[in-house]
Structure 1
Amino acid sequence: MKTLFKAAAALAALAAPLPALAEIEPVTLRLAHVVNEQDAFHAAATKFRDLVDERSGGAITVEVFPNATLGDERTLLEGMQIGTIDMGLITNGPVSNFLEDMAVFELPFLFPSSEAAYAVLDGEIGQELLDRLSEVNLKGLAYAERGFRNLTNSERAVNTPADMGGLRIRVMENPVYIDTFRELGADAIPMAWTEALTAMQQGTIDGQENPVNVVHSFKLNETQTNMTMTRHSYAPAIFVMGLPVWNGLGEEAQTILADAAQEAAEYERALNASQQGEQLQALSDAGMTIVDDADLSAFAEAVKPVYEKYGAKFGDYLPRIQEQIRAGAAQ
């Protein structure tokens, strides 16, 4: 009889929820982004959703809203601040409109490689800036990526800054991007991504700048006949929540969300790296002219005034980043 009692007790213990998971209040979080389901952002968002579901034992449900169905990136961030939007995966450029120092990452030709960018973002500097988003009622969780940005246009192949003259180029609503392209000789036109897609179709702008994965997932080759691999700026993307929503969660739930965001971010980075070669080939096969031998030293020289204008505005962040990059290259 004692043996049967012990066996029954053991089975009951196995069936009982884990103590940590039992503490999590059931909650549904809406995660929004502005790109389509073929984009790496969506892959990151769905990976995050699945990790959170698994690790919370189903207590935390994440609903993913792609295609700007809940608004453009600025609208999403504003909604997070007041608690009407729970969270999003947002390109760093719009985030820097809320915390200016985040724009230090957008300076042209700052990062020589993805690895150099990851070391800064996942290290002390990147985490410090994520934490500072609390100053504007946001909670930064982890850095995914938009990636290294390249120029596309519908007018001509671009090999040097001289070829940029007069091109109407959509850029993010961010002063660093605007001034970068003005220094390169383009007519920089800031606008939301959803508006840019229509503008390219209507021919009211000549081009835009984005990583290869965006050019491919949105089939920009249908309106953009040329792409130059300028890699002029590395754009992080941030898993970000509204601080009001974050503060309403328990510690265990917060830990699950933060860890899942970091893992999903690293998953998306690896996905981008593995897919870029195939995406470039597909764009080329579709008729897009891809310039991969542009005079990048001339581009970097042309944008030096951007550093003169903005370098000191970011406090000690720029020299700290540059020192970390130099130290990493010396190893």
Structure 2
Amino acid sequence: MTQRVSRRSLLAMGTALPALAMPTIGRAQGRYKPEYKITVVGNRPIALSESAFVWADLVNQRSEGRLNFKVYPGSSLVGGDQTRELVAIRQGVIDGAVFSTINISPQVREMNIFSLPFLMPNTAAFDALVASEVGAALFRTLAQRDIEPLAWGENGFREISNSKRAIRAPGDLRGLKIRFAAGAIFSEIYTSLGANPVQMSFADLQPALSTGAVDGQENPVNLFLGFRMDTLAQKHLTLWNYCADAGIVAISKQALAAFEPRDREIVVEAAREAGQAGNNAARKGLGANGDRSSLEECARRGVEVIDLTAAEKQAFARATRSVYDKWAGTVGTDLVRQAEAAIARVS
């Protein structure tokens, strides 16, 4: 489910920059930065953060000291505002990132495809989408912004929790204050369901839940567990898979072009493995291969887990269809139709 830069492409980049392809470690170290800054929202155990740390660790080990990737979690390089990461890379302030597509969708409208409500019913649909021409097209779009996308990853499907009541039908959301991270599409989704959407950064989410400034939030299950949201009055968790939080392991084109061919290959191969590590973390214990350990842990913590039926999910899909149709036009109708076709082949 990842996109890779081929060995041939990497070597081609090297031949385009013959003066940079120096063989000795000493010269490489003299030319390379002392540190390459990698940004990611949140921190471990968020799956995207897992990808970032795995990427950095693999690059640092395999380059034998030529490269020093350092992860700055919590979007700390941009003051905690994850929506500024893309701009910071383009400005040269940051060298690489594990992006959430949600956080870059305000700047790259096509990335809103992952936020179309109820487009992807499950992980098979997600995998089919990113492996299709749609995934390749999204990477080409990002590459036009001075950023080299190296691999797809995943933070998980976003489920909804709250402190007030079980959510089983659209009407159950009426009046609830629900936090969302970024993107006008989320405001419109929750407004269409009768909720009161509140945008805020992840850094502000936990204090807002603890004080009751918001009633609920939407995040993947393993993030819910990792950040102990059950201790923040979040006692009702509904599994509805309304959208997926896709991740992209990426680096600035300028940084990648400056590496020797062998180091470019290390960076790209490590990105692929890091994306898969994030996928594994996002999907752990959610029912695949009979492993429901994460859901069982929710129950042990006193959280009511509501696993909606297909018919119940369809009720939410119908209620948000106008938002879907509007944003399909924003994303690009042809791109959305291609995504729907790719998903239909595995449904």
State the shift of 1:124 in Å.
2.5
Counterpart contact for 1:144–1:239, Cα < 8 Å: yes
2:61 alignment partner, SS class? helix
Report how far residue 273 of structure 1 moved.
Answer: 2.2
Contact 1:81 1:244 in 2 (8 A): no
**What SS does the aligned partner of 1:129 have?**
helix
TM-score scaled by length of structure 1: 0.87
Alignment map for 1:154-169 (pairs within 5 Å): 154-169=163-178
Check the 8 A contact 1:89/1:237 in 2, yes or no.
yes
Deviations 1:8-42 (CA, angstroms, capped at 9, x unpaired): xxxxxxxxxxx996478234312122212332223
1:191 counterpart = 2:200: yes
Opposite residue 62 of structure 2, the aligned amino acid is R
The counterpart of 1:150, out of the listed 142, 159, 183, is 159
Indicate the residue corresponding to 1:236 in structure 2. Answer: 246
How far 1:259 sits from its partner (Å)?
2.1
1:52 equivalenced with 2:59 (yes/no): yes
Query: Unaligned stretches of 5+ in structure 2?
Result: 1-20, 287-291
Shift of 1:116: 2.1
How big is each residue's C-alpha offset from its partner over 1:201-229, in whole Å with a ceiling of 9 and x where there is no partner?
22111111011011011111111111111
Superposed CA offset, 1:25-70 (max 9, x none): 2343121222123322232222212221233233122112223332
Structure 1 unaligned residues grouped into runs of 5+: 1-18
Task: Kindly provide the amino acid, as one letter, of the partner of residue 238 in structure 1.
Answer: I
Are the counterparts in 2 of residues 98 and 136 from structure 1 also a CA contact under 8 Å?
no
1:304 equivalent to 2:321? Answer yes
Query: TM-score, normalising length from structure 2?
Result: 0.83
- Is the Cα–Cα contact under 8 Å of residues 122 and 241 in structure 2 kept in the other structure? no
Number of residue equivalences: 311
Q: 1:29 to 1:216 in 2, by over 3 A?
A: same
2: distance between equivalents of 1:308 and 1:124?
21
Identity %: 27
Please state if 1:319 is matched with 2:337: yes
* Counterpart contact for 1:93–1:173, Cα < 8 Å: yes
Distance in 1 (alpha carbons) for counterparts of 2:142 and 2:259: 18
CA distance 1:40–1:84, shift in 2 (3 Å): same
Secondary structure in 2 matching 1:46: helix
In the alignment, the residues of structure 1 paired with residue 262 and residue 185 of structure 2 have an alpha-carbon distance, to the nearest angstrom, of 38
Contact 1:80 1:243 in 2 (8 A): no
Partner of 2:17: none
Deviation at 1:243, TM superposition (A): 3.5
Distance in 2 of aligned mates of 1:314 and 1:282: 37
Partner of 2:226: 217
Give the number of the structure whose alpha-carbon radius of gyration is greater.
1
Q: How far apart are the structure 2 equivalents of 1:248 and 1:323?
A: 39
Partner of 1:129: 138
The residue type paired with residue 52 of structure 2 is: A
